[in-house]
């Protein structure tokens, strides 16, 4: 059974149908990349999965449970699905470590003494050991984004969503964030990425989905999508970005 | 200072600064000299000097005024924390989303609308004379209690609006980030949004509290002998207005540094955010 399954999911903002009947099935340990033009609905799709936006129609199943049920408490779902945003969205009044400890303590009710070593291990692993006690405005973009990833990982989610997490970074900082993703990939984390980094998608993804006007226009293994797309729209998009 | 030679721009800017300082000092001196020389030429100056700037009266009444000012400070000191607490509660009540708590939200809205819409002195009269008029036993008929309550109600309404504007100024992505980590909406407010919002509105709230310090004098109209009332007593006693000037100086000694400090904080925040 798929870990995460979307069936005929729809979402409109006012009259504007942004997600127009999407079916998608994500297996445990799989890495899926969402590509598509600006405004094609990538961010919205990720927000639907973590219930930051309510689903209008259709179903989303997590481990077989329908999480798109209107009125369902979104909190337990969000504890299992982490998300990292393009703009980092760190809490500016907390140090990197405090950012990381907040949710495990408040949501999981764990003690700081218990969580801190885990957090330290994560900071260490991603080259942030000497940045734990810094405030976000004392960190570079790449460091902030890595802290944001650590913050999400500290909740030990089963699925991680990444929304164009390198798009706001200076080119020389992109690499350090992509390295984090490589490391998570090697660990077998289930990941869904909205990305403009086509080279990276090609290197690591199990599957690439090309979104166009709120629909999955084409999906398949990266090699086929990038070198031999069957849909004219996919071809047109790729010829613009590659 | 650093040992490195100044750049051309730094040399230029230093010269500009010196020039600006010289001009500012020169024009200030000119204006002051004009005031000192011209005002005494006014026909009523001698009379004004006698009744407003009388050194003898000043020396005699100033200690008593300072003493009375302690009461202003005491009233301020017990009102301020209550205002902060009530203002915060009202601000939060206005954001309640739970339909069962709608009456609270409505009450908070009416409350801020009403108390921001009334002159402070009117509220002080209505509450300060009205409630003790119910014939309550001591100490519940004290004008201190009801006068203070009037100040608290008015100022908490303003503080609530300031805090609410702070909450609204925090970008929604902060809330989304908090919720995405599994925090409840109230935890997101308490740990993520409110701390940032409160920090952001410190200067605005400081200005409110400076205004409060001045408005404490309004309580004199319903009884308490604080500095303004005390100055009035001295004025009648000595048939001289100098005590009012003394009272003004005491207020300024407190409010000017506080205002400067609030402005300084505001500038620092503006710089930090740009
Ligand atoms: N909260 C919202 N209210 C109204 N319209 C929205 C909202 N969020 C997104 N949209 C609209 O939905 C469409 C899809 O937006 P979305 O952010 O999902 O696209 P995207 O594929 O992530 O684009 P980008 O590559 O620019 O990030 C856009 O036309 C956008 O204007
Ligand atoms: Mg997007």
Among A193-207, B127-141, B200-214, where is mean pLDDT lowest?
Answer: B127-141
Per-residue DSSP letters for B175-243?
Answer: HHHHHHTT--HHHIIIIIIHHHHHHHTHHHHHHHHHHHHHHGGGGGGGS---HHHHHHHHHHHHT-SHH
User: Is B192–A91 a contact, with Cβ atoms under 8 angstroms apart?
Assistant: yes
In this prediction, residue B270 carries a pLDDT of 82
Q: What is the pLDDT of residue B274?
A: 66
CB distance A157 to ligand 1 below 6 Å: no
Task: Say yes or no: CB of residue A91 within 6 Å of ligand 1.
Answer: no
Residue recorded with tokens 């990833």: A149
How many residue pairs from chains A and B have C-beta atoms closer than 8 A?
Answer: 54
Q: Is A28 on the interface with B (CB under 8 A)?
A: no
B194: distance to nearest CA of chain A, Å? 11
Centre of ligand 1 from the C-alpha of residue A19, in Å? 10
Average pLDDT over residues B88-106: 91
Q: Mapping DSSP to helix (H, G, I), strand (E, B) and coil, where does residue A8 land? A: strand
Question: Whose atoms come closest to the Cα of A54: which ligand?
Answer: 1
* Any ligand 1 atom below 6 A from CB of A39: yes
Q: Would you call A89 an interface residue with chain B, using a CB distance cutoff of 8 Å?
A: yes
> pLDDT at position A7, please?
95
Residue A237, pLDDT score? 93
Residue B2: per-residue pLDDT: 54
Determine if ligand 1 sits within 6 Å of the CB of residue A38. yes
Domain spans in chain B, listed from the N-terminal domain onward:
8-41, 58-273
Q: Band of the pLDDT at A100, cuts 50, 70, 90?
A: very high
pLDDT at B163: 96
Closest-CA residue of chain B to A80: B182
Pairwise CB contact (< 8 Å): A78 & B173? no
Q: Quick check: bond before B70 cis, omega within 30?
A: no
**Between B269 and B106, residue with greater pLDDT:** B106
Out of A58-72, A109-123, B128-142, B254-268, pick the least confident.
Answer: B128-142
Strand A190-194 vs strand A159-163: parallel, antiparallel, or unpaired? parallel
pLDDT over 70, % of chain A:
100
Structure-model confidence comparison of residues B135 and B52, the more confident one: B52
**Of the ranges A5-9, A79-83, B117-121, B139-143, which one carries the lowest mean pLDDT score?**
B139-143
Q: In what order do the strands lie in the sheet with A65-66?
A: A16-26, A4-13, A57-62, A65-66
B235 band by pLDDT with thresholds 50, 70 and 90: very high
Quick check: B1 pLDDT over 60?
no
Q: Is A27 helix (H, G, I), strand (E, B) or coil?
A: coil
Mean pLDDT for B261-265 is 89
pLDDT for the residue A242: 78
Give the integer Cα–Cα distance in Å for A70 and A74.
10
Quote the pLDDT of residue A106: 96
pLDDT at B128: 87
What is the tens place of the pLDDT at every residue in A140-197?
999 999 999 999 999 999 999 999 999 888 888 898 899 999 999 999 999 999 999 8
Mean pLDDT of chain B: 91
A219-240 confidence digits (pLDDT tens) = 999 999 999 999 999 999 999 9
Across all residues in chain A, what is the average pLDDT? 94
Element (H, E) at B166: helix B143-169
pLDDT (mean) for B155-172: 96
* A13 Cβ below 6 A of ligand 1: yes
Q: Which is nearest to B89 in space by CA: B183, B139, B157, B168?
A: B157
At residue A134, the pLDDT reads 95
Residue-wise pLDDT tens digits, A4-51: 999 999 999 999 999 999 999 999 999 999 999 999 999 999 999 999
Q: Is A143 in the pocket of ligand 1 (CB under 6 A)?
A: no
Average pLDDT score over residue span B214-240 = 89
What is the predicted pLDDT for the residue at B6? 85
Q: What is the pLDDT of residue B252?
A: 93
Measured between CB atoms, which of A89, A90, A155 is closest to B182? A155
Give the chain B residue whose CA is nearest to the CA of A77. Answer: B182
Chain B nearest CA to A226, separation (Å): 32
d(CA B81, CA B79): 6
> Which pLDDT score, from 0 to 100, does residue A85 have?
95
Of the pLDDT bands very low, low, confident and very high (cuts 50, 70, 90), residue B3 is low
Neighboring chain B residues of A87 at a CB cutoff of 8 Å:
173
As for the ipTM of the complex, it is 0.94
| Cα dist from A92 to A97, B182, B246, whole Å | 12, 19, 46
Q: Which residue of B has its CA nearest to A46?
A: B180
Predicted confidence (pLDDT) at residue B141 exceeds the cutoff of 80: no
CATH code, residues B58-273: 1.10.3720.10
Closest ligand 1 atom number to CA of residue A214: 14
Position B30 pLDDT exceeds 80: yes
Residue B7 predicted with pLDDT over 80 = yes
Q: Which of B173, B182, B183, B187 to mutate to test the interface with A (most CBs of A within 10 A)?
A: B182
The predicted structure's pLDDT at residue A161? 97
User: Residue A219: helix, strand or coil by DSSP?
Assistant: strand
Do the Cβ atoms of A224 and A50 come closer than 8 Å? no
pLDDT at B60: 92
**DSSP strand pairing (A16-26 vs A4-13):** antiparallel
Residue B210 and residue B203: Cα distance in Å, rounded? 11
Decide whether any atom of ligand 1 lies within 6 Å of the A42 Cβ: yes
Per-residue confidence at A215, pLDDT binned at 50, 70, 90?
very high
Q: Residue B43 has what pLDDT?
A: 87
A107: pLDDT confidence band, cut at 50, 70 and 90?
A: very high
Is some CB atom of chain B closer than 8 A to the CB atom of A102?
Answer: yes
């Amino acid at each position: 059974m798929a870990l995460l399954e979307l069936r005929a999911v729809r979402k409109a903002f006012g009259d504007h149908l942004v997600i127009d009947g999407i079916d998608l099935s994500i297996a445990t340990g799989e890495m899926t990349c969402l590509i598509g033009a600006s405004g094609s609905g990538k961010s919205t799709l990720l927000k639907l999965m973590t219930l930051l936006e309510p689903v209008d129609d259709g179903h989303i199943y997590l481990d077989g449970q329908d999480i798109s049920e209107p009125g369902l408490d979104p909190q337990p779902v969000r504890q299992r699905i982490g998300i990292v945003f393009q703009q980092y969205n760190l809490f500016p009044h907390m140090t990197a470590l405090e950012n990381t400890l907040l949710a495990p303590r408040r949501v999981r009710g764990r003690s700081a003494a218990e969580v801190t070593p885990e957090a330290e291990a994560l900071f260490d692993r991603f080259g942030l050991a000497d940045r734990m006690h810094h405030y976000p405005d004392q960190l570079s973009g790449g460091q902030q984004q890595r802290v944001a990833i650590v913050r999400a990982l500290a909740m030990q989610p089963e699925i991680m969503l990444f929304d164009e997490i390198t798009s706001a970074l200076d080119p020389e900082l992109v690499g350090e964030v992509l390295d984090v993703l490589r490391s998570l990939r090697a660990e077998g984390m289930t990941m869904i990425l909205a990305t403009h980094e086509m080279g990276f998608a090609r290197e690591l993804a199990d599957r690439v989905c090309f979104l166009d006007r709120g629909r999955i226009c084409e999906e398949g293994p990266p090699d086929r999508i990038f070198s031999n797309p069957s849909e004219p729209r996919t071809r047109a998009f790729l010829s613009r970005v590659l | 200072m650093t040992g490195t030679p100044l750049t051309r721009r730094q040399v230029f800017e230093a010269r500009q600064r010196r020039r600006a300082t010289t001009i500012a000092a020169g024009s200030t001196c000119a204006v002051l000299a004009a005031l000192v020389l011209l005002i005494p030429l006014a026909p009523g100056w001698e009379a004004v000097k006698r009744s407003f700037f009388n050194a003898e009266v000043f020396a005699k009444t100033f200690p008593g005024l300072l003493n009375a000012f302690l009461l202003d400070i005491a009233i301020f000191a017990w009102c301020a924390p209550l205002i902060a607490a009530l203002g915060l509660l009202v601000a939060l009540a206005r954001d309640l989303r739970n339909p069962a708590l709608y009456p609270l939200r409505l009450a908070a809205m009416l409350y801020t609308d009403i108390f921001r819409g009334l002159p402070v002195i009117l509220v002080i009269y209505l509450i300060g004379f009205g409630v003790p008029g119910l014939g309550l036993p001591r100490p519940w008929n004290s004008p201190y209690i009801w006068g203070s309550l009037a100040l608290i109600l008015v100022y908490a309404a303003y503080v609530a609006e300031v805090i609410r504007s702070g909450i609204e100024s925090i970008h929604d992505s902060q809330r989304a980030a908090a919720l995405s980590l599994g925090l409840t909406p109230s935890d997101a407010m308490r740990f993520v949004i409110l701390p940032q919002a409160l920090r952001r509105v410190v200067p605005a709230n400081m200005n409110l509290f400076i205004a409060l310090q001045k408005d404490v004098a309004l309580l004199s109209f319903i009884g308490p002998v604080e500095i303004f009332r005390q100055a009035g007593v001295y004025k009648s006693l000595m048939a001289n207005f100098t005590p009012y000037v003394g009272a003004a100086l005491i207020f300024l000694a407190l409010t000017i540094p506080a205002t400067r400090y609030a402005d300084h904080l505001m500038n620092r925040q503006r710089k930090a955010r740009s």
